[in-house]
Structure formats: C-alpha cells, structure tokens
Structure 1
Amino acid sequence: MRKQGFDPQKYIEEQSKYILERVDKFDKLYLEFGGKLIGDKHAKRVLPGFDEDAKIKLLQKLKDQAEIIITVYSGDIERNKIRGDYGITYDMDVFRQIDELRGFGLEINSVVITRYNHEHSTDVFISKLERRGIKVYKHVAIPGYPSAVEKIVSKDGYGINPYVETTKSIVVVTAPGPNSGKLATCLNQLYHEHKLGNHAGYSKFETFPVWNVPLKHPLNVAYEAATVDLKDVNMMDYFHFETYNEVAVNYNRDLEMFPVVKRSIEKITGQESMYQSPTDMGVNRVGFGIIDDEAVKEASKQEIIRRHFQTECDYKKGLLDEEVVNRMKLIMEELELKEYHREPVIPAREYAEKLKGGVNKEVPAVMAFELNDGTVITGRSSNLMDSCSAAILNAIKYLANIGDEIFLLSPMIIETMKDLKTDKLHSKVATLNANEVLIALTIGAVTNPTAQLAVEKLHELNGVQAHSTVMLNKDDEQILKRLGIDVTSDPVYPSENLYYM
C-alpha cells in the first residue's frame, strides 16, 4: 500500500478558513481558480491522500456565499481545442463543468466568452447556451492588454465590455484550461464594481507551485513537468522576499504579470494595493496539508516520469515540438530519474522482449499493472483482444483468486463479437478493446458467478500503475482513466497502419 502523504480534511479546513479571512476584507471577492476545479488528478498523484474533488467540496462549504463564472476564449472554441485529460473540446468541457457544478449544488452565474470576434463556431456555442437558459457575456480583446494600464482601465478599455451582474460575496472565476481570460474577467469586474461604488477585491487560488515548499522540491518540479509545453518555470518570488525577507515560490508568468496587475488594481481602486507580491495575492494553503514529505517526494518523482512518457508519446504523434521533449529530459536529469524507476516499465518491456522471439514479428503489445499490493500482472495482445483488455482480465482474476486456466469469457462469445465487428460493422480492427471486453464480461456475469466475482474486483484497480510497450488507442486510454489506473506508454505505434490501430 502506498503511504499517505496528505491530510485532505486538514487542507479543506485550513483553506476555507483562509478564504473567508480574505473575503472579510471586501464586500465581494473575485476568486480566480487556477487548475482543475473538479477531478484534479495531478494533485491526487503528487499528494497521496489528496481528494481530487477537494476544491469543489471546499466550494460546497461556501455555496451559500458563492457563485461561479466560467470563462472560455473564443479562439479555443473556433479551433476545437482539446482538453487532454478528458479528450473533449473546450466548448464541450464548459457543458460538462456546468452539469457537474450544478450536481454539487453550486450556482452558475454565467459563461463569459473572452476575446470574442464574431467567430461562427463561437456564435453556435453561445446559441446553445442561451437556449438552455445560461447567461452569456461577450468580452472583446482590448488593444494593449495587459501592459497599457492607462488605456485598459478606462471607458475605452474595461468600460467597453459588459459588467457581469453578481450578487454573492464570493465570485469564483474558472475555465476549461489556461489562457482562457480568467484574470481579464476578474479585473473587468473590479473596474465595473468600483464604478458602481462597491468595495470588491481580487485573489487567486492556484494549487501549484506550492509557495511554502522549496523551489527544487520534487512537488514543485512536478508542476514544471506538468506544464512543460507552456514553458512555465518555478522561481523565487523576489517581490515577496524583498518585502518580507521570506522565501516563497511562484512561477514566471505570475511574477511577470504582478507589476501590471498591481498597477491595474491601484488604478481601478484609486488607492495602494494591499498586495506586495504574487504570493500575497494567492490563497493557497495546500502546503499545510502535507503530513509525510518523503511520501510526497516519491509520488512527485513518479509523476515526473509519467509526464516524461506522455511528452515522448505526444512528440511521436506530432503534438509537441522537440524543444518541449528536450526540456522534459532536463527535468528528468535534474532529479536523476530514469524510465525504469517506474515499477511496471521493466516487466512490460521484458515480456515484450520474450515475445519478439516468437511467431509475432510486429511490435509486441504488452501491458503491465503494478497492483496496490505491489504485485505485477501482465497482459499481451492476441487475435482475440488487445493487451489492455488482457491485463484487466488477468488483474481482476488475481484479485478474485480465480485460476489462470478458468475463462471469464467464452471464446465463442468473443468470436461472435469479432464477427459482428468485422462482418456486420465492417471494422478493420478485429481484436476487442477494453470497453468491449468489459461490456461482455458484465453481461456474462448475470449467469456466470465466477465472472461476477471478477466484476466485483474492478474497483480495486483504482490507483494501479500501468505501463504499455505501445501507445494505446483513445478508447483504452479512457477506460483506464475511468477505472482510476495511471498508465504510461512507450512512444511506439502498435502497427505500421496510419489510421487503424
């Protein structure tokens, strides 16, 4: 069992108390939420014990005082930008967020379209929202933003964008991803609030980097690895050190933007800002939830290796350039990390190497699972199913104490499904993927008690670490994510086919 390094309850209590202290300084606080509001898998991986929905549970405690604005950049809608962890476009992710936030009993104020320029896809998206009763505000790009403070903080700057009517003391501003216009929306609101005579303020809730752990702590280095494509670099907050003689960690974009944000707030309010550093602006207390630093360090190192594999695969797919790959290699070298430090890597590769000597001349597709008790289980692709399906079946058989010789699925059923795929549905890929195998297994469990035993063990795969010797298709990736399995892959295509995998 992996050691717990983080106390989620302590964190929520500390964080909610600190936010309320900040709220008390204003009539209304615009709280910019960085990172993922729901399902923060990165935080869960690097902080063992962290609740991936901690932020949303925190907001639930404050729901009588809070409402939510979601911002999305119109250009991201127009070019169908994909949110990698869910594999859906940003506009679809806005729909998903609204549904999930409402499911937690939270109030959605509106959606703000930022840098709007009458894009067709954006107009369609706006129509969909408005016809479902969601308020939509359109903010245009302001020339000179963010540096031309005198023009931006004027009737010709923020003044040309509409005011989003809000009523609660905490207004959370979130988005599907970075560069969606959260900060601009917050400052736009501050401008209009002060024009209306309201005493409103701004703060930022960004989990990473963690300001009160060392700059080169693996936890903070893991944040650099997670944002390697954005070229984020952790730095000492020199504004904070100069003012308080206290070391704090922040990252380059916030440090670069701080003087501009500070000047903008002072121009809006007409008085000196209460913030002397980017760290002052934040309300992040995640560092106070760490209860085992060594466990956090080890988990963070594993996350860096995982990000390394992801970067290599994205480069192979043409999604990243070589500069990003080289920067990721430097991060690995900085902490003296190797690929084989990830436990399931060697078993997967060794099994694949054995298969190379057999009849199969293509790249051997093997997946290895490191179960939560430390046991390693492998699965290989065959004419019947892919390696992901085989590894899942082998793992739940082990967990249910079912012998290897016992079939969970009748070969006849598998052959019938293959015939359906190839003969009736005209699929070029005959082998069954994980989604198809699990559906067949669940149906079979109705009449097969052994299969039912195996199905009941699926929840024990949550937290399993996996490695594949070939890159997975999207269906298998999504199934593994839904099961809570963290998977990495070697940057190798499973076949020479360009489309059919």
Structure 2
Amino acid sequence: MRQGFDNEKYISLQAEHIKERIAQFGGKLYLEFGGKLFDDYHASRVLPGFEPDSKFRMLKSLSDDVEIVIAINAGDIEKNRARSDLGITYDEDVLRLTDIFRSYGFLVSSVVLTQYAGQPAADLFRRRLEDLGITCYLHYPIEGYPHDIDLVVSDAGYGKNDYIETSRPLVVVTAPGPGSGKLATCLSQLYHEHKRGIEAGYAKFETFPIWNLPLSHPVNIAYEAATVDLDDSNIIDPFHLEAYGKMTVNYNRDVEAFPVVKSLMEKIMGESPYQSPTDMGVNMAGYAIVDDEACREASKMEIVRRYFNAAEQVKRTGAGAEQVDRLRNIMKKAGVTKDYSPARSAALLREETTGAPAGAMVMPDGSVVTGKTSTRLGAASSLLMNALKAVTGVDMETEVISDDAIEPIQRLKTHRLGSVNPRLHPDETLIALSITSATSEVAARVLEGLKKLRGCDAFFSVIISASDEELLRKLGINVCCEPKYERSGIYHK
C-alpha cells in the first residue's frame, strides 16, 4: 500500500522529544498517555505506514527510564464499565494492561483508584490487587474540583491523596479508557513532589488532532469522525495564537479546560511552564508525514468508513441516528461522498447483476475484485477467495479449495450444528483452504496471500454477520456494509 508516514522517523523523533521534556523539568516527568497504546488502528489507517504498536515501541526505546502507573476510576469499577472493543470491564483491563507491560519488560509500579469514596466493588478490586502483589493507591473526590483552585491545591485537596512512590525519570500515567483520572493523577503527583522539594513536570501525549496540520486537513477531520459519539470538535488553539502568533490545532475540551489546568500548575509550581494546551503536548506525528497526499486520501476513506459503520449500527440497534447526521456533515467538510471508495459501486453493481448479496475489495494496486454469494460460499468468503487469487496471481476460474475439504464442514454445519445455511463463512473457508494447502501447492500459495490484504478496503452490498466482519478485520481488512439486510424481517441474528 502507498506509504505516507515514516514510522521509524516518528519513533526516533518522539523519543528524543520526550527526553527533552524530561530534562526541561529537572529530570522527572509525569506523562499523561491518551489514546490507544498497543493497537492504534485508527492512526495506522489515516497515516499509512504508522504501525499500530508504534507508541508502545517508542516507549520501549526508553524502557530503562520508564515506569507505568495505571489509573482507574473507582466509580467505573462500581458500575462495571466495560471496553466495547474488547468486551471486558475496566478493572479486568487493568490486569490485562499490567500483564502486557510486564511481558515487554516495563516496570508497572502501581495502580491508583481515583474518585475513591468507599465503593464496595472498588474495595474488592483493591484487595484483589494486593493479593496479586500490585501496590494500590487511593485518590479521593475533591469538593469544587477543579475550579476551587485554593482548595484543590491544598492539604485538604490533593494533599489527601496517597503519594504514589515512583523511582524513574518518566512516569507514564495510562488508563483503560477516558474519564479514569489521568490528568488529576499527574497534577496530584506534582503537588506531592513539589511539597517534598522534588522537581517534576507534566506533559500530555495524544496523537490526534495533529497540532501542526491545518484544521481542515483530512487527518484532523478524520479524528472528529472517530470521536463523533462525544460530539466534540477540533478548533484553533486561541491561547497558542495569542502567546506566539501561530495557528495550531487542538481539541475543544482541552482548550476549554486549559485555563483551569494552567491555574492549578501555577498554584503548584509557582508559575505555569505552558502558555497553551498545545504547549503541553509532546506529539511529533506531523513531522513524520512523508507523503501528504497519501495521508489525505487514507483519511478521507476513513471518514467514509466511519459513516457506514455508524449507519450499520443504527440498522442493527436502532440507536445513533444523530451520529450518522453528524458524520454526513463531516463528510461534506472533507469533500467526500458515500461513493468515495470504488468498492461500493462495484459491490452494488455485482448484486444488481446477480440478484444476490455481493462484495468488492480494492487491491493494493488499485484494481477492484468482486465476489458473489454461491452455493458453497457466502459473499464474504467468495470475496476473500477472489482477493487472495488476485494478489497471488491465480486465475479466478481455478477451484482452489477441494470438495473433500468443503463438504465435511457443510455436513457438520447442517447435520450436527443445526444450521440451515450450508455456505461457508470466511473462518470456515480459511480452515478448508488450510486443509487443502497440505496437498495443493496452489492452495498453499493462495493462503500466503493473506498478509498482502492487510489495509485493503472491502464493501458489501448488505450487512454481513458480526462474526464475518470480525474475521476480516482480524486479517487487517477494512470493512464497510450498505446499511440494509439481505432479507426482510425484524429479527436478524
């Protein structure tokens, strides 16, 4: 795929910039880490060449100087708040994150329960952490937070919080999700460090919006599409413009919160080291863009993708129509329509000519391959097989999977598992292909083509099953569906 982003340059620039920020504050920095750390697929889609684990690899280059503090809101534990992308609760994700960090050699020094007010579920989780040998600290609600500066920055405010014992120059404060109290944890630590006469500072690491790209750049507009459920927007940072006469982009919530954050830092440190929310950031992603047009095109496709995903969710659940309306406006802002991807028109045309659900995929060379529903394969499976043939140079008419591999799976489905649909789903198709590859060089060659489909865009003329979507996304294929079902009715499994 066309690359627009130099990943290695980014990792190097980002690590050096963070080192500079540590030095700026005398050797100790609390870094609020926003966004996804391990699996930032949004960034990899809008910045082609950005690896989903780039931020993690960047931290790995600093690992000897890094320790991790994980913040979780005690109220979220009580409410069993869950990550929709992983299907696990926030407290379980704390354990997952701890395991991942430790498996890569990072020091996870502690977990902090923020907004702790004696919640029974939080107490249970605290005991669980202690049984696992994980140090747990408590941070409490502060009346009038954050606007009552004098109370917040006092022994009755931040002073009530436990002081988190840390030992390394870079303390990364991360969390299972938003609203976990990362910023409050960082500022509370600054208060305690300065009371102890220890120099320390604060910075924020968030990839989007990219501050040194224009407000109207598709990469930044795509971020608005990604956060449409929050109904927030990118804006020009007025504080940066006033202080330096330079136009930079920031998120409206960060801009709105900055006067309070600045006042808190002034109260803690004597003066604020920052004149704008842009100053607080350490993001260097904009400097690693090497092909602006490639990033623009990828971001426009991501905006359209977000629209179709939202429209599909409305069809599935009946909720979220307002988000679809906002995404229509975002598409207009970016100058794109629903037909931006050639895969859509190709899939709809194939459905029209065959009278059955169909799919289409844009190949790495820009060509479009289609697939239709057949007696043996569903639309998703047919498209997957045709795409694999295309990228490995196998003739489309060649029957790659043997009947000996397909028929036992069909019999199992219909005779033993109660399915009325004998057609193979993508996961079943790959199993049949793998079985055939043991005795067929052609099948083995086609199977090797899977890695070449990563980053390709697929479009289906109907909503495919959630399991089919999940399988294709695991393969790195971006999926969109026309927001309609294959059959009429009110219940769709």
In the superposition, the TM-score normalised over structure 1's length comes to 0.91
Separation in 2, partners of 1:409, 1:255: 57
Separation in 2, partners of 1:120, 1:419: 51
State the partner residue of 2:449.
Answer: 457
1:194-213 paired onto structure 2 within 5 Å: 194-213=194-213
State the partner residue of 1:481.
Answer: 473
State the partner residue of 1:359.
Answer: none
Change (3 A) 1:81 1:343: farther
Cα deviation for residue 368 of structure 1 reads: 1.1
1:48-447 paired onto structure 2 within 5 Å: 48-86=48-86, 88-117=88-117, 122=122, 125-126=125-126, 129-269=129-269, 271-318=270-317, 320-356=319-355, 364-427=356-419, 430-447=422-439
Letter aligned with residue 407 of structure 1: E
Write the deviation string for residues 78-113 of structure 1: whole angstroms up to 9, x where unpaired: 555454544554444434433333333222222333
Cα deviation for residue 259 of structure 1 reads: 0.8
Separation in 1, partners of 2:124, 2:318: 27
Deviating more after overlay: 71-80 vs 279-288: 71-80
Separation in 2, partners of 1:347, 1:156: 65
Q: How much identity, in percent, do the aligned residues show?
A: 48
Decide whether the 8 Å contact of 2:405 with 2:435 is kept in 1: no
SS at match of 2:429: helix
Cα deviation for residue 448 of structure 1 reads: 2.9
**Aligned length, in residue pairs:** 492
Decide whether the 8 Å contact of 2:190 with 2:268 is kept in 1: yes
Change (3 A) 1:486 1:77: farther
SS at match of 2:178: coil
Decide whether the 8 Å contact of 2:405 with 2:436 is kept in 1: no
Change (3 A) 1:126 1:313: farther
Decide whether the 8 Å contact of 2:73 with 2:113 is kept in 1: yes
Write the deviation string for residues 272-318 of structure 1: whole angstroms up to 9, x where unpaired: 11111101111111111122222222221111111111221223333
Decide whether the 8 Å contact of 1:229 with 1:320 is kept in 2: no
State the partner residue of 1:12.
Answer: 11
Change (3 A) 1:24 1:419: same
Change (3 A) 1:493 1:247: same
Write the deviation string for residues 56-82 of structure 1: whole angstroms up to 9, x where unpaired: 111111111011122233444455545
Separation in 2, partners of 1:214, 1:221: 10
Write the deviation string for residues 383-438 of structure 1: whole angstroms up to 9, x where unpaired: 54332222111211233333334333333543322332344334566543222222
Cα deviation for residue 331 of structure 1 reads: 0.9
Gaps of 5+ in 1: 357-363
Deviating more after overlay: 67-76 vs 463-472: 67-76
State the partner residue of 1:360.
Answer: none
Deviating more after overlay: 68-77 vs 476-485: 68-77
Gaps of 5+ in 2: none
Letter aligned with residue 326 of structure 1: D
SS at match of 1:466: strand
Write the deviation string for residues 362-383 of structure 1: whole angstroms up to 9, x where unpaired: xx43221111012212223345
Separation in 2, partners of 1:118, 1:489: 46
Cα deviation for residue 500 of structure 1 reads: 5.3
Deviating more after overlay: 382-391 vs 232-241: 382-391
Change (3 A) 1:181 1:426: farther
Cα deviation for residue 250 of structure 1 reads: 0.8
Change (3 A) 1:218 1:345: same
Cα deviation for residue 339 of structure 1 reads: 0.9
SS at match of 2:9: helix
Decide whether the 8 Å contact of 2:237 with 2:277 is kept in 1: yes
Deviating more after overlay: 322-331 vs 220-229: 322-331
Decide whether the 8 Å contact of 2:311 with 2:321 is kept in 1: no
State the partner residue of 1:361.
Answer: none
- Select 2:462's aligned residue among 459, 467, 470: 470
Letter aligned with residue 336 of structure 1: G
Decide whether the 8 Å contact of 1:212 with 1:249 is kept in 2: yes
Write the deviation string for residues 323-342 of structure 1: whole angstroms up to 9, x where unpaired: 22221111111222111111
Separation in 1, partners of 2:92, 2:428: 25
Separation in 2, partners of 1:367, 1:130: 51
Separation in 1, partners of 2:282, 2:210: 11
Decide whether the 8 Å contact of 1:429 with 1:500 is kept in 2: no
Change (3 A) 1:330 1:474: same
Write the deviation string for residues 213-271 of structure 1: whole angstroms up to 9, x where unpaired: 111111111111111111221111111111111111111100011011111112223x0
Decide whether the 8 Å contact of 2:69 with 2:172 is kept in 1: yes
SS at match of 1:409: coil
Cα deviation for residue 343 of structure 1 reads: 2.3
| CA RMSD after TM alignment | 2.4
